[in-house]
A and B are shown apart, each in its own frame.
Chain A
Amino acid sequence: MITCEEVQERVPNPLAAESLSEERIAYLEKLVSQARTAAAVFTQFTQEDVDRIVKPMVLAGLEQAQHLARLAVEETRIGVMEDKVIKNMVATEFVYNYIKDKRTVGIIREFPERNLVEVAEPIGVIFSILPITNPTSTVLFKCILAIKTRNAVIFSPHPNAWRCCSEAVKIMYESALKQGAPEGVFACLESHTLQDNAYLMRHKDVGLIDATGGPGAVKAAYSSGKPALGVGPGNTPVYLEKTADLNTAVTDIVLSKTFDNGTICASEQTAVIDDEIYDVVLKKFADLGTHVCNEKEAELLARTVIDAKTGFMQPMAVGQKAADIARFAGLSVKPGTKLLIAPIRGVGRGHSLSVEKLFPVLAVYRAKSVDEALKVCVDVNHAGGLGHTAVIFSRNDEIIRRFGELMNAGRILVNSPGSVGAVGGVYNDLPPTFSFGCGTGGGNSTTDNVNIYHYLNIKRVARRIQAHMWFRVPNQIYFNMNAVENIRQFASRSTIIITNPSMEQLGHVDLVRRYIPEGTHVHVSVIPDAEPEIKVVMQGVEALNFYRADQIIALGGGSVIDAAKIMKLKYESPAADLEELAAPFLDLRKRVIQYPTEKINRARLIAISTTSGTGSEVTPFAVLTDKERGRKVTLADYSLSPDVAIVDPQFVMSMPKGLTADTGIDCLTHALEAAVSSYASAYTDCNAMQAIRMVFKYLPIAYEHPRDEEARSMMHNAACIAAMAFSNASVGVNHALAHAFGARFGVAHGRANALMLPHVIAYNASVPTKFLPSPYQKGYLAHKKYATVADLLGLGGHTIEEKVKNLVAATEQLLDQLGFPRSIADLGISQEEFERAMPDLTKLAFDDPSWRSNPRMPLISELAELFWKAYQGRGPAKVAGAAQEQTSQRQTA
C-alpha cells in the first residue's frame, strides 16, 4: 500500500498530493505500472512486429470512423459529424500512409558518407492529454504513433469527451492486443480531475507529456519539469493578395472555416484583403452561402461570441453552426448560411472579433496596401496566435516570401485552406498530425507537426572517420645547378624582381635578368635584409601597381620570398586585410577567415631561394614582423604558395657560415617537426625523413667546405624537400617557441630554433601531460618516429628510449659542430631580463598556431619550462661518442 509520505516524495506539489485519496493514488500507480511494464516489454519488438500491429489498428479505426464521429458529436455537442468522420479517416489512413515505410525500430537512418547511423529508442510511458475539439481523431492518431514507436500511453480525455475518447482507446487497444502488443499499452483515465493530471505529469515513470489541449493543460505540462510536447492557441491570419486566384481562395476559406464548424485551431480567423479585390471577394463569399454583417450586426455578433471581460471566445460558441450563432446573436440570416463574416477596422482592444474564434465566424479587414496588409497579419498573428499557422493566397512569389519571413508560425500555407492544410498530407507535404507545435511563440518545444519522430529518442552512433588529407606543393619545381635557366619559359610583359641588397652585390640579380625573355620590362625592388615588415611590403605593392607587373621573381631567403608572397596577395586583392587573414585557426578546412579568391590583378610568382633554408619557395606560409607590437604575424594559405620554385645551388655557394648554419638548422627543424606532426602522413614522412638524412650528412660539409658543390646542392634540395613536408604536415612547438623568442629578442629564426631543438625532441618523446585531439593519427607516435629517425641515421640503440636519447645527442653534436651557442644565456641575455619577458614569451608562444600540429599539447607551464631549459642550455660540449664517430664516417664516405 502506498503511503502519503511516499507520495510526497514522488509528487513535489503537496497540494495535488493532499487532494488525492489513497485509493486514487493506488489506481493511478497501477495505471503507470502497467504502462511501464508494457513499454519495457515493447522494447523487445522488432520493426516487423510493430508494423504487423499498426496496420490492423489503422483498419479498425477506419471501420469505426463514423461510429466514433457520431459519439464525439453526441457527447461534446461540438462540430459536424461528417467532418469528424473525415478527421478520423485522416488520422488513420493519411497518418498510416506517412509512417508505413518509415523505420522506427533499431537503425532508422544511415549516413554512410558521414559514418553515422541514427538508432531509435522509445520514450517509454507517454501521458497524453486530449482535446474536446478533435477528441477521437487525436486518440486514433496518437495510438498509431505510439505503437509504431513502441511506447505506452495513458490518455486523459477532456471531461466532456470522455466517453468517445475511451471508446476510441478501447477500439485501438483491442486491435493492438490482438496482434500481440503488450498488455497495458494503452489506458484511459476514468472520470479524472486536474489533480490526477498533475500527479501523472510529475510521475517519475512518465517519460513524456503530450498535451493537445487548452492553454492551461499545455502550461501545466511545461511546468511539470518533464519533457513535454504541447500545442498553442491559434489566431490564423489569411492574406488575400490581389494576384490570388479568388475563386480558389474564397472556396478554400469557406471550406476551411466551416470544416467541423471551425474547431480546428489552424482555421482562418481574420481575412486581410487587398483593397483592389475587397468588394469582389465579399461578393464571392456571399455567393457561397455566407452572411456579410453590417456594422451593427458585427457588434451584436461580437457581444454574443466574445467574452467582454476576458476578450476570449465564448466556450459555448465553439463548434456551433453559423445559423445557430446568428440566432443567438439576434441576426437575421438566410437559411443554410454556413459562415458569418464580420468586417473589422483593427486588431486588439476595441476590435473584439480579431481574436481566435473556433466557430464559423470570420473577421475581414480591408487593406489599402501590401505593407498595411502585412502589418495587420502580423498584428493578428501576435494577438494570441504566435507560432501556430498563417495563410496566404497569392501568385506573387516576392510577397509570399515576405509573408513567410514575417509570420511567426510553424505552418505557413500558400494557396490552401488553413485547417485542413495545417493537418498535413492533404494539401501539402507536411507530416499529417493532430498536434500542431507552435514553437517558443506558443510556449512549445517544437514548431513541427508532431509525428513519429517526436515519440522517439534518436541516438546517433558516430564512427570515427578517416578525414581526407592532402599533399600540395607548387606544380613546377626546378632544381640542381643552373635551374634558373628555366625562367626563359615564362613570358611576361612586366616583371618585378624582389630581392635584398646582397643579391645585387653578389651579381645574382644580373644572373636572373639574363634569363628573363627579351621584351619584358624588368624593375628591381630591393628590400632590407631582415624579416619583412608591413611597411616594406606595402612599398613593394606600390611598385607592383606602378609597373602593372604580371610576374614577380623573389630572389632571396625566406624573408624576401615571404615579403613577395604578401606583396602578391595585396597586389592581386587590395582589399585583403592582413590582420584578419592572420586570425588564428585550429583546422585549416574549418577556418573562419577565407583568403580572397577574386583578384583585380594577376601575377605569377617565381621564387628563387638563396638560402638552404626556410623552403619558403614551396610553402603556403608567410611570416611578417609587426615591429610595433613586437610579434610575428603568420599567414597560412595554399594560395600564398609560389607558382614556380627554383632551387638552384649556385645562389647559395657564397652563403656565409653563420647563415649556412642558421638556415640549415631551420631546415632540420622543419623536417623533424613535420616527421612527428599530428598531420604527418606517408606523403610527408618520406620527404621529412629524407631531408633529415640529407641535413645530417651534408650540413657539416657545407658549413666547413662552403665551395663543396655537392654539399651545397644537397642542402639546397634538403631545404626544399623539408619544406614540402612541413607545408602539408605543418611544424610544431619548436617553431612556436622560436617565433616568440626570436621576435622578442631579435634572434635570427634558425638560431632560435637551434636553441630549442634538443629540448623539444626530449619533450615530444616523453609521455604527454595532455594529448592534442587529432583525428589523423591513432595512438601517440612521436617517440617512435624519433626512434625511426635515429635508425635512419644509424645512431644505434636497442629501445625507443635509447634511440631518442641518441638522436638528441646527435642533434646537440651537430649544433656544436655548427658553432651554435649552447644556451640562451650564452647570447648575453640576463636571467632577470629573461624572467621579465617570460609571461609575454609564453603567451606569444601559446598564441602561435605552429604548435597546434605538435604531437603533444603544450601547457603554458611546459612552454615556460622549455624556455628555461633553453636558457640554461644543454650543458658542456659532448665528447666524441658513437654518434659522432658515425657522423665522421658518413662525411668521409
Chain B
Amino acid sequence: MIAAWLKIDEERVVQGLQEAGEKLDSIEGEVALDFSSVRRIDSSALRAMEEFVGMADDKGVKVVLRGVNVGVYKVLKLVKLGSRFSFVG
C-alpha cells in the first residue's frame, strides 16, 4: 500500500529528496517518488538519492520510483543504486 506519493521537480531534485527525507518518519510501508519530469540527473542528485534510500532503509520504508527515464535508469544502474529501488511506469 502506498503511504505517500511525492513529485520530484527536475530543477529541485536535491531539495525534493531532502523534503521527502524529512517526511519519512510519518510514512509507513512505501513511498513513491514521481521522477517523470526529471530528464537528467547530476552528481548531487545522485548523492541525495543515495542518502534518501539509506534513510528509508533504516526506517523500513520501501522506495518506489515512478516514471524514471531510461537515461536516468542507466545512471542508477552504473552507480549500483538500481537494486535499492523499485520501479514503476
Q: Which residues of A contact B (CB under 8 A)?
A: 34, 36-41, 43-44, 124, 182-184
Q: Is the CB of A41 within 8 A of B46?
A: yes
Q: Is the CB of B78 within 8 A of A43?
A: yes
Q: Is the CB of B71 within 8 A of A182?
A: no
Interface residue? B75 (CB, 8 A): yes
Interface residue? B55 (CB, 8 A): no
With A43-B71, A44-B72 already in contact, the answer to whether A37 and B79 are too (CB < 8 A) is yes
CA A124 – CA B79 in complex, angstroms? 11
With A36-B79, A37-B79, A39-B78 already in contact, the answer to whether A44 and B43 are too (CB < 8 A) is no
Interface residue? B42 (CB, 8 A): yes
Known: A43-B75, A44-B71. 7 other contacts (CB 8 A): A36-B79, A37-B46, A43-B78, A44-B72, A44-B75, A183-B43, A184-B43
CA A296 – CA B40 in complex, angstroms? 70
A and B contact pairs by CB, cutoff 8 A, 14 listed: A36-B79, A37-B43, A37-B79, A41-B41, A41-B42, A41-B46, A44-B41, A44-B71, A44-B72, A124-B78, A182-B42, A183-B42, A183-B43, A184-B43
Collect the chain A residues with CB atoms within 8 Å of residue B71's CB.
Answer: 43-44
Collect the chain B residues with CB atoms within 8 Å of residue A39's CB.
Answer: 78
How distant is A1 from chain B, measured CB to nearest CB, in Å?
A: 15
Collect the chain A residues with CB atoms within 8 Å of residue B40's CB.
Answer: 44
How distant is A520 from chain B, measured CB to nearest CB, in Å?
A: 77
How distant is A358 from chain B, measured CB to nearest CB, in Å?
A: 40
Collect the chain B residues with CB atoms within 8 Å of residue A184's CB.
Answer: 43
Closest Cβ neighbor of B76 among chain A residues: A40
Q: Is the CB of A38 within 8 A of B43?
A: yes
CA A40 – CA B73 in complex, angstroms? 10
Complex A-B, nearest 4 residue pairs according to Cβ-Cβ distance, in ascending order: A40-B78, A183-B43, A40-B75, A44-B71
Interface residue? B44 (CB, 8 A): yes
Interface residue? B59 (CB, 8 A): no
Q: Which residues of B contact A (CB under 8 A)?
A: 40-44, 46-47, 71-72, 74-76, 78-79
Collect the chain A residues with CB atoms within 8 Å of residue B47's CB.
Answer: 37
Closest Cβ neighbor of A45 among chain B residues: B40
CA A36 – CA B75 in complex, angstroms? 10
How distant is B82 from chain A, measured CB to nearest CB, in Å?
A: 11
Closest Cβ neighbor of B40 among chain A residues: A44
Closest Cβ neighbor of B41 among chain A residues: A41
Collect the chain B residues with CB atoms within 8 Å of residue A36's CB.
Answer: 78-79
Q: Is the CB of A43 within 8 A of B46?
A: no
Collect the chain A residues with CB atoms within 8 Å of residue B75's CB.
Answer: 40-41, 43-44
Collect the chain B residues with CB atoms within 8 Å of residue A40's CB.
Answer: 46, 74-76, 78-79
How distant is A671 from chain B, measured CB to nearest CB, in Å?
A: 52
CA A39 – CA B80 in complex, angstroms? 13
Collect the chain A residues with CB atoms within 8 Å of residue B76's CB.
Answer: 40
How distant is B27 from chain A, measured CB to nearest CB, in Å?
A: 27
With A36-B78, A36-B79, A40-B78 already in contact, the answer to whether A182 and B72 are too (CB < 8 A) is no
CA A38 – CA B41 in complex, angstroms? 11
B44, B75, B76: which has the most chain A beta carbons within 10 Å? B75
With A43-B71, A44-B71 already in contact, the answer to whether A183 and B79 are too (CB < 8 A) is no
CA A124 – CA B44 in complex, angstroms? 18
CA A41 – CA B43 in complex, angstroms? 7
How distant is A709 from chain B, measured CB to nearest CB, in Å?
A: 73
How distant is B89 from chain A, measured CB to nearest CB, in Å?
A: 20
B40, B42, B71: which has the most chain A beta carbons within 10 Å? B42
Collect the chain B residues with CB atoms within 8 Å of residue A34's CB.
Answer: 43
Collect the chain A residues with CB atoms within 8 Å of residue B44's CB.
Answer: 183
How distant is B28 from chain A, measured CB to nearest CB, in Å?
A: 31
How distant is A10 from chain B, measured CB to nearest CB, in Å?
A: 14
CA A44 – CA B46 in complex, angstroms? 13
How distant is B79 from chain A, measured CB to nearest CB, in Å?
A: 5
CA A184 – CA B46 in complex, angstroms? 13
Closest Cβ neighbor of B77 among chain A residues: A40
Q: Is the CB of A182 within 8 A of B43?
A: yes
Closest Cβ neighbor of A184 among chain B residues: B43
CA A122 – CA B89 in complex, angstroms? 28
Closest Cβ neighbor of B47 among chain A residues: A37
How distant is A150 from chain B, measured CB to nearest CB, in Å?
A: 12
How distant is A176 from chain B, measured CB to nearest CB, in Å?
A: 13
Closest Cβ neighbor of A122 among chain B residues: B78
CA A295 – CA B59 in complex, angstroms? 83
How distant is B52 from chain A, measured CB to nearest CB, in Å?
A: 15
Closest Cβ neighbor of B71 among chain A residues: A44
CA A44 – CA B68 in complex, angstroms? 13
Closest Cβ neighbor of A33 among chain B residues: B79
How distant is B30 from chain A, measured CB to nearest CB, in Å?
A: 26
CA A184 – CA B78 in complex, angstroms? 15
How distant is A638 from chain B, measured CB to nearest CB, in Å?
A: 50
CA A36 – CA B71 in complex, angstroms? 16
B41, B42, B43, B72: which has the most chain A beta carbons within 10 Å? B43
Closest Cβ neighbor of B72 among chain A residues: A44
A38, A44, A182, A183: which has the most chain B beta carbons within 10 Å? A44
CA A99 – CA B75 in complex, angstroms? 26
Collect the chain A residues with CB atoms within 8 Å of residue B74's CB.
Answer: 40, 43
Collect the chain A residues with CB atoms within 8 Å of residue B46's CB.
Answer: 37, 40-41
Collect the chain B residues with CB atoms within 8 Å of residue A124's CB.
Answer: 78
Collect the chain B residues with CB atoms within 8 Å of residue A182's CB.
Answer: 42-43
B41, B42, B71, B78: which has the most chain A beta carbons within 10 Å? B78
How distant is A43 from chain B, measured CB to nearest CB, in Å?
A: 6
How distant is A836 from chain B, measured CB to nearest CB, in Å?
A: 62
CA A183 – CA B43 in complex, angstroms? 6
CA A289 – CA B41 in complex, angstroms? 60
How distant is A837 from chain B, measured CB to nearest CB, in Å?
A: 60
Collect the chain A residues with CB atoms within 8 Å of residue B41's CB.
Answer: 41, 44
CA A43 – CA B42 in complex, angstroms? 11
Collect the chain A residues with CB atoms within 8 Å of residue B79's CB.
Answer: 36-37, 40
Collect the chain A residues with CB atoms within 8 Å of residue B43's CB.
Answer: 34, 37-38, 41, 182-184
Closest Cβ neighbor of A40 among chain B residues: B78
Closest Cβ neighbor of A124 among chain B residues: B78
Collect the chain B residues with CB atoms within 8 Å of residue A44's CB.
Answer: 40-41, 71-72, 75
CA A43 – CA B41 in complex, angstroms? 10
CA A41 – CA B46 in complex, angstroms? 9
Closest Cβ neighbor of A36 among chain B residues: B79
CA A183 – CA B47 in complex, angstroms? 11
Closest Cβ neighbor of B39 among chain A residues: A44
How distant is B85 from chain A, measured CB to nearest CB, in Å?
A: 15
How distant is B8 from chain A, measured CB to nearest CB, in Å?
A: 16
Collect the chain B residues with CB atoms within 8 Å of residue A38's CB.
Answer: 43
Collect the chain B residues with CB atoms within 8 Å of residue A183's CB.
Answer: 42-44
Closest Cβ neighbor of B50 among chain A residues: A37
Closest Cβ neighbor of A205 among chain B residues: B80
How distant is A181 from chain B, measured CB to nearest CB, in Å?
A: 10
CA A44 – CA B73 in complex, angstroms? 10
CA A182 – CA B79 in complex, angstroms? 14
CA A38 – CA B72 in complex, angstroms? 13
How distant is A48 from chain B, measured CB to nearest CB, in Å?
A: 13
How distant is A414 from chain B, measured CB to nearest CB, in Å?
A: 45
CA A702 – CA B76 in complex, angstroms? 77
B41, B46, B74: which has the most chain A beta carbons within 10 Å? B46
CA A38 – CA B47 in complex, angstroms? 11
Closest Cβ neighbor of A39 among chain B residues: B78
How distant is B86 from chain A, measured CB to nearest CB, in Å?
A: 20
How distant is A409 from chain B, measured CB to nearest CB, in Å?
A: 39
CA A34 – CA B47 in complex, angstroms? 10
Collect the chain B residues with CB atoms within 8 Å of residue A43's CB.
Answer: 71, 74-75, 78
Closest Cβ neighbor of B45 among chain A residues: A41
Collect the chain B residues with CB atoms within 8 Å of residue A37's CB.
Answer: 43, 46-47, 79
How distant is A179 from chain B, measured CB to nearest CB, in Å?
A: 14
How distant is B71 from chain A, measured CB to nearest CB, in Å?
A: 5
